[in-house]
Structure 1
Amino acid sequence: MSSIYTKIVSSMLFPLHEKLKKHDTVEIRKSLEQSQWFSKAVLKQNQSKRLQKFIQTVYEHVPYYREMFDSANLSPVDITCSEDLAKLPFLDKTTISTNFEKLKSDIAGSLSRFNTGGSSGQPLIFLLGNERVSHDVAEKWRATRWWDVDIGDKEIVAWGSPIELGAQDKVRLIRDGLFRSELIPAFDMTEQKLLSFLSTIQKTKPKMLFGYPSVFDLLAKTAKQHGIQMDNLGIKVAFVTSERLYPYQRDNIEATFGCPVANGYGGRDAGFIAHQCPQGGMHLSYEDIVVEIIDPQGNPLPPGQSGEIVVTHMGTSEFPFIRYRTGDIAVMSDKTCACGRGLPMLEAIEGRSTDFVVALDGTILHGLSLIYILRDMESVEAFKIIQETKQHTHVQVVSKSGEVNQQMRDTIMTGFQARLGAEVSVTVESVAEIAPEKSGKYRYVISKVSTT
């Protein structure tokens, strides 16, 4: 049961915060909490209506799509449901980069510049408006409340994005303090810092945890090694996202913190695609996002078959994501969840995962700490990082100019040695393309060094 303070935050302070930011989050969340109980047939009908309106708006106001429709002799009326999206071409990172200005709506409001974390090896720069942010926050809020926790309940967030970590100004600190959300950085994880994080969690006694599964798994291992009890703090749920959640991680986190793990799937670019409910269903954000599963040839696949996730986010009329290829692999389910929600589900998510790397002195670093060095270099098209040993890391780089020059090599080496150790050997290899693993999947951070 929520405390009086939590109720004040969730019903007054957070809605005021969202209103000041010109977000329609509260109204959207209330609508989503009603629609989640609709039948699949009604949800499908509502999705089709919204998709038609979305496509019409995009055609009228976004130059790229108007030109694309006209050149293909298509009209917005040709898209009446999700199945009709197959008539349209896919959207990928290269297409967005090439047509960046044309993808902006001519009636767009204020747009903010964002970029992906780069774990795919090819960072993406794109724009988000209030419409998209409002829907994303509302989807996350709805899923949070499934677990009998709410905004205003004490929360520990383990995160590593410089967007979050760089925004800790006074206003942000005051806001997080009011909402009782405490951020711990997820990059530089020495044993001393891991123990400090565990101590913070013990003192805070949060109702929920939120962050990378790999980080909470590492915290769980550290607690076990030092005999630190963490399952008596009253934590109700650990929300994990941004990486693939492995069964062993779920088991370890649940056993150590004494709470269930709720998996979430999505990204800055594609939005919050799916959330796990207490009965285990990975429910799609169906009211906002159309999800297709395709084979390597681009053909739609039925439930039960593994393929690439393609997303159409209907809250992106100001900078549209239509049939956006995520590069992640998943399986659609045709089952009905025991929770009673009509929202369709993903059966399995086999997406990318980001490994840890180990510095020469034994410090465990999140793989993103190296990814960001390459992601922020404009001349880098794609990359792959292989930590062979503590003493040697190999980096494959695809340069936009076709060749990795000495300045690029020096920047990479300096950045990596600053994190891994000055004595670490860093080999930078210029390649034409990044090859997939034998399984056909891509991994962009691979560490062959044990973290235990």
Structure 2
Amino acid sequence: MIKKIIYILGQNHRNPTLKTNYEFLKKSEKWPLEKLEEYQLKKLQKLLNTAYNHSEFYRLKYDELKVDINDIKSLEDLKKIPVTTKNDLINFTDKIQTNLKFKKTFLATTSGSSGESLRFFRDEHADSFNRASIERGYSWFGIKPWERNGYFWGFNFSASKQIKNKFLDFLQNRFRIFSYEEKALKSFIKKSKKAKYIHGYSSMIYHTAVLINKLNLSKPKNIKLIKGTSEKVFDSYKPEIKKAFGIDIISEYGATESGIIAFECKNGNMHLNMEGVVVEQVDDEILVTNLQMLSFPIIRYKLGDYISLAPRDKKCSCGKEHLILEEVTGRIGENVYGFKNTYPSLYFYYIFKNLSKKEGVFLNYQVIQNKEGNLVFLIEGKINIDVEKKLINEIVKYFKKDINFEIKQQSNFVYNKGKLKNFISKINE
């Protein structure tokens, strides 16, 4: 009870509108699809009006392109609005930020794979709505946010940041891990026995599961939810995690700029957070519009992921009619250089996806490119000759003779601030 009181007091101080937003989301999750889209259109029109009248960037851009926001009378009309890129957000941050006055704002910071940092101010309502969206997802699994939880976050901050994080962890009844070392993982596993849920980097959750299974450690029995975020949850992770914890890992998809985009339900479907975002799939790329943030409008934003949306008529047996995100297939813009041609790094996704779907072979991998025409495939664990041949055939299918490659088994992966990237190119560094 004391942990609940501490959490609620902290929540009410930091995010006074969170409770109201959460109550709204619990009601709207029962809405039919048509009502959800009516709500989206209403919020979209308000957002566009705010952006045009209070953001110098959008006003100048729309005037230059002769965009009339009053022409947006349906969600389909959103296509009339120009896209926004990460470079726009970084280069015109101050001009995108609206001149509206808010009682409370929070400084949000993010960095992409290029390392370019974005810093903007998010209004309290948008921040609270985002947190309420996460809490709604937790509620689908019977989780209360103040319950004991473990957090996989693999970057060891400075001493001052660690003190701050320890205080925040105390308020949220949370313990975290920064290291892949066996001693740290064993300590985390021991603490997990009293936890109700664990969340964070999916690769770290996987490695913890591997250790539990390898050493035949006593398994945490009270875990009701395992949530992977910030990284893709690969199919190869799932059997180990299920064996170690007794339940499947689920996915949460979002970004600092966009807020929560989708949350997986108990039936394994990723439901779009339709009350918070509008998602478009254009040439297999995601464009996302944050409907709730008025301090820093995010409109038709090229987030940088390839996605696949399910057909509108696909229904989930959980009863929610929110549209379904079938899959986040990979990152955009990372090129692989052959001797003659250039290829998308998305090829790696298909190579290993084909192995899992067609051959039933699940491999954890990382690909390194140090120079043009050469790739090193790092494979976790040992594989037999038959599996290696199948992998070679898939690689050759996509790159033919334009790339020389080497397969290294039982490899250790390279992590950046605790985060795993499946493709690392050192050509453009």
Instruction: Determine whether 1:451 maps to 2:428.
Output: no
Q: Per-residue deviation at 1:451?
A: 3.4
Q: Per-residue deviation at 1:164?
A: 10
2:212–2:218 CA contact under 8 A, matched in 1:
yes
SS state of the match for residue 336, structure 1? coil
Q: Per-residue deviation at 1:117?
A: 4.3
TM-score, with structure 2 as normaliser: 0.73
Residue 99 of structure 1 corresponds to which residue in structure 2? 92
Residue 226 of structure 1 corresponds to which residue in structure 2? 215
Q: Per-residue deviation at 1:166?
A: 6.0
**For residues 162 and 23 of structure 1, what CA distance do their matches in structure 2 show?**
30
Residue 309 of structure 1 corresponds to which residue in structure 2? 286
Structure 1 stretches of 4+ moved >4 Å: 161-166, 393-396
Q: Per-residue deviation at 1:23?
A: 3.9
2:177–2:184 CA contact under 8 A, matched in 1:
no
> Over residues 267-317 of structure 1, what are the superposed CA-to-partner deviations in whole Å (9 max), with x where a residue is unaligned?
22221110001111101110010001111xxxxxxxxxxx11111001221
Residue 319 of structure 1 corresponds to which residue in structure 2? 296
> Over residues 66-102 of structure 1, what are the superposed CA-to-partner deviations in whole Å (9 max), with x where a residue is unaligned?
1122222222212233222211221111111221211
Residue 36 of structure 2 corresponds to which residue in structure 1? 43
Residue 226 of structure 2 corresponds to which residue in structure 1? 238
Q: Alignment partner for residue 26 of structure 1, among 16, 19, 28?
A: 19
**For residues 139 and 165 of structure 1, what CA distance do their matches in structure 2 show?**
31
How many residue pairs match? The answer is 344
SS state of the match for residue 305, structure 2? strand
Q: CA RMSD in A?
A: 2.8
Residue 427 of structure 2 corresponds to which residue in structure 1? none
Residue 214 of structure 1 corresponds to which residue in structure 2? 203
Instruction: Determine whether 1:331 maps to 2:331.
Output: no
**For residues 273 and 203 of structure 2, what CA distance do their matches in structure 1 show?**
24
Counterparts of residues 50-449 of structure 1 (less than 5 Å) = 50-109=43-102, 111-118=105-112, 120-127=113-120, 128-160=122-154, 167-169=161-163, 173-185=166-178, 188-202=179-193, 205-230=194-219, 232-295=220-283, 307-333=284-310, 334=312, 335-352=314-331, 394=370
SS state of the match for residue 279, structure 2? strand
**For residues 139 and 283 of structure 1, what CA distance do their matches in structure 2 show?**
11
Unaligned 5+ runs, structure 1: 296-306, 354-385, 397-437, 440-446
Q: 1:32 to 1:56 in 2, by over 3 A?
A: same
Aligned AA (1:196): S
1:236–1:259 CA contact under 8 A, matched in 2:
yes
2:7–2:171 CA contact under 8 A, matched in 1:
no
> Over residues 393-414 of structure 1, what are the superposed CA-to-partner deviations in whole Å (9 max), with x where a residue is unaligned?
9599xxxxxxxxxxxxxxxxxx
> Over residues 340-379 of structure 1, what are the superposed CA-to-partner deviations in whole Å (9 max), with x where a residue is unaligned?
11211101221349xxxxxxxxxxxxxxxxxxxxxxxxxx
SS state of the match for residue 340, structure 1? coil
TM-score, with structure 1 as normaliser: 0.70
Aligned AA (1:285): N
**For residues 308 and 73 of structure 1, what CA distance do their matches in structure 2 show?**
25
SS state of the match for residue 78, structure 2? helix
Q: Per-residue deviation at 1:217?
A: 0.7
Residue 417 of structure 1 corresponds to which residue in structure 2? none
Q: 1:164 to 1:236 in 2, by over 3 A?
A: farther
SS state of the match for residue 299, structure 2? strand
Percent identity of paired positions between Structure 1 and Structure 2: 27
Q: Per-residue deviation at 1:178?
A: 4.2
> Over residues 15-39 of structure 1, what are the superposed CA-to-partner deviations in whole Å (9 max), with x where a residue is unaligned?
4323322541110110000001100
Q: 1:23 to 1:83 in 2, by over 3 A?
A: farther
Identify which range, 251-260 or 13-22, moves more after superposition: 13-22
Q: Per-residue deviation at 1:173?
A: 3.5
**For residues 29 and 231 of structure 2, what CA distance do their matches in structure 1 show?**
25
SS state of the match for residue 351, structure 1? strand
SS state of the match for residue 234, structure 1? coil
Aligned AA (2:246): G
Unaligned 5+ runs, structure 2: 333-365, 373-397, 400-406, 414-429
Aligned AA (1:130): E
2:47–2:297 CA contact under 8 A, matched in 1:
no
2:258–2:298 CA contact under 8 A, matched in 1:
yes
Aligned AA (2:63): D
Q: Per-residue deviation at 1:211?
A: 0.9
Residue 360 of structure 2 corresponds to which residue in structure 1? none
Q: Per-residue deviation at 1:130?
A: 1.6
1:237–1:259 CA contact under 8 A, matched in 2:
yes
